[in-house]
A and B are shown apart, each in its own frame.
Chain A
Amino acid sequence: MRDLLSSLRTPRGIATALILLVLAALPLLTQAFDQRYLLSIGTRIVIWSIAAVSLNMILGYGGLVSFGHAMFFGVGGYAVGILSAHGVSSGWIQWPVALLAATAWAALIGALSLRTRGLYFIMITLAFAQLVYYVGSGLEAYGGDDGLNISRSRFPGLIDLRDKANFYWLCFALLCASLWFCNRYANSRFGLVIRGAKSNELRMTALGFPVFRYRLAAFTISGAFGGLAGILLANEGAYISPAMMSWVKSGDLIVIIVLGGMGTLFGPLYGTIAFFVLEEALPPILNLAHKGWGEYWMIVFGPLLVLIALYARGGIDSLLGRRHD
């Protein structure tokens, strides 16, 4: 508790506390200012943050560049969608099944992918994501390429997810839980092994740690949280389609992590907010400069990514002062 209070005095602590406060009160704020549209963006920001936190567990802390993380959106989302299409609308069944599916899938492909290193790891995770993508687009019974409209999961007597504010708060609570878990993960002995293997795998092996098994466990945990984000994403749009797991989405997630600050607790949150804000704000700003330019905002966004990759690898987190840990 004293740690928490003292960290509130740093710029990072203040910024993070403000962001969390605004996010916690977002449904009230959007209602007060009558900006319903902002709540749906906010919901997506929170869901994507969960996915980014989960990718950060392996990419940021473990140095394992997975280029297929959006596949867990797909596995989680399709598990919910397929059950829903067969009339199983209870979240009590949908969610555990979806989580189990994502976890099992992560364990399987993790066991295969982690045999490879570096570039080959990037490519094999990408390949597995494409595999899931094409399976999704080949499922004619569940919409094929066009996707499928579903209804939101039901938790009778507990919470009505059709209410937008309720759904938002559930997502936000799950984001807080993910951040809490990630904090425990990163600072546990387990997390230290993962971080140690990132900086020197050989040394960790020499110290007697079975690095492969640790990494597989981390990959599986990360996949489970990715699946959770997929469940929420399917519920948010009441819609599943292969597009939710295209490789561009996996790229976006990597962009978010680097933008926010790799291997930092709140980096994924900063990154997601910055990413969505850029996406929403660049077009109007460009339109101010010259009418019609806003349509081509990616001409600015693309080079911005190049610059971030080259010169700002610490991400937004590094702008908030030095880190203590």
Chain B
Amino acid sequence: MEYLLLQVLNGVQLGLLMFLLAAGLTLTLGIMDLVNLAHGSLYMIGAYIAWTLIGVTDSFVLGALLALPATFLVGVAVEIVVIRRLYARDHLTQVLATFGLILFFNELVRALWGPGGKSIAVPTFLNRTIEILPGVPYPAYRFAIIVVGAAVAILLAWLVARTRLGMLIRAGASNRRMIGALGVNIELLFSLVFGLGAVFAGLAGLMAAPIASVRIGMGDDILILALVIIVIGGIGSIKGAFIAAMVVGQIDIVGRAFLPDMLKTFMSSSAASSAAPAISQVLVYVLMAAVLVWRPTGLFGQRT
């Protein structure tokens, strides 16, 4: 029972990280109608910048806080140099160009930081366990991810539902030409939203760094998962992205944690431990295929 609770919490933590990544992606897709495969590169760059800044400042919190505006600037720069030219183009052009950006950023990071992976240590004040329930310890750092992730999700929900920027974002998602005609500075809005998405991606990258590792291409696989999440949730829907991220997080973790034991009942233990992660990944894609077959525009997507 305790084990189940811990695994569910791990699933929530993974789901929140993926939500941070998916939120930026679904905003750019919903508002600018832009497929941005290079979103995973911003996740990677956030983590690498954080690694450098944490080394310079010798403080995890300070380094992480400084890395966020830095990632914002990288995001805005990418938007101005390349992305801006892609809004009016078809999806194929966007896929191709942002695929080129991935190759560029992976190689750039390799040239700047070297081919080896980096690791960010868990900050000392979080390097312990806390009791989430009496007698049930849980790593404090993972708990912190859940707290920060949930806080950002609430902040984002507030931003989208209650602020002027959020109003423009929602208006842009339903009819971007109209808000331009009403005199909204669309260029600025798009740059801001893209930069915001970059910050969320960078935040997810640097928070994941102490658990996984900082390496080249770290954003590529999780990007695909994030794309799956926004497609399940419905493009442009923050609520859909959140729900889908939570479901995918649970499938992934529960698959890894419980499938090996189930599989061992009828196959060898080494085969079971290698098949389980693959099966939990397969389940995610089966879920997506099922959702799309059932509702071709995702759970909360707008019908066309």
Contact = CB atoms under 8 A, between A and B. Distances in A.
Interface in A114-139: 115-120, 122-124, 126-128, 130-131, 134-135, 137-139
A309 B97 contact: yes
Contact of A298 (B82, B107, B220, B277): B107
A138 to B, nearest CB: 3
B285 A299 contact: no
B99 A140 contact: no
Contacts of B231: 120, 123-124, 127
B50 interface: no
Interface string A3-42: 0000000000000000000000000000000000000000
Interface string B274-304: 1101110110011011001100111000001
A59 B35 CA distance: 17
Given A127-B288, A131-B282, A247 B224 contact: yes
Interface in A124-166: 124, 126-128, 130-131, 134-135, 137-141, 144
B154 interface: no
Q: How big is chain A's contact interface, by range?
A: 35 or more
Contacts of B181: none
Contacts, number: 137
A302 B107 CA distance: 9
Interface stretch (B5-13, B87-95, B184-192, B205-213): B87-95
Contact of A305 (B96, B110, B235, B298): B96
A134 B224 contact: no
A249 to B, nearest CB: 12
Interface stretch (A43-51, A95-103, A213-221, A251-259): A251-259
Contact of B292 (A120, A139, A310): A120
Nearest to A135: B282
A258 B100 contact: no
A123 B285 contact: no
Given A124-B231, A141-B271, A247-B224, A115 B292 contact: yes
B104 interface: yes
B218 to A, nearest CB: 14
A314 to B, nearest CB: 13
A274 interface: no
Interface in B75-121: 82, 85-86, 89, 91-97, 99-108, 110-111
Contacts of A301: 100, 103-104
A135 B284 CA distance: 12
B35 A122 contact: yes
A254 B93 contact: no
A118 to B, nearest CB: 6
B96 A126 contact: no
A127 B230 CA distance: 12
Contacts of A53: none
A141 B274 CA distance: 10
B270 interface: yes
Contacts of A65: 91-92, 95
A299 B111 contact: yes
Contacts of A130: 224, 281, 285
B91 A299 contact: no
Contacts of B108: 299
Contacts of A139: 275
Contacts of B130: none
B235 A302 contact: no
B285 A127 contact: yes
Interface of A: 59, 65, 67, 112, 115-120, 122-124, 126-128, 130-131, 134-135, 137-141, 144, 247-248, 251, 254-255, 258, 296-299, 301-306, 308-310, 313
6 contacts: A115-B293, A118-B91, A127-B289, A134-B279, A306-B100, A306-B104
Q: Which 4 residue pairs spanning A and B have beta carbons closest together? A: A138-B278, A305-B100, A302-B104, A302-B103
Given A297-B107, A299-B104, A304-B100, 19 more contacts: A65-B91, A117-B304, A122-B91, A122-B95, A124-B231, A127-B228, A134-B285, A138-B277, A138-B282, A247-B224, A296-B110, A301-B103, A301-B104, A302-B101, A302-B103, A305-B99, A306-B100, A308-B100, A310-B85
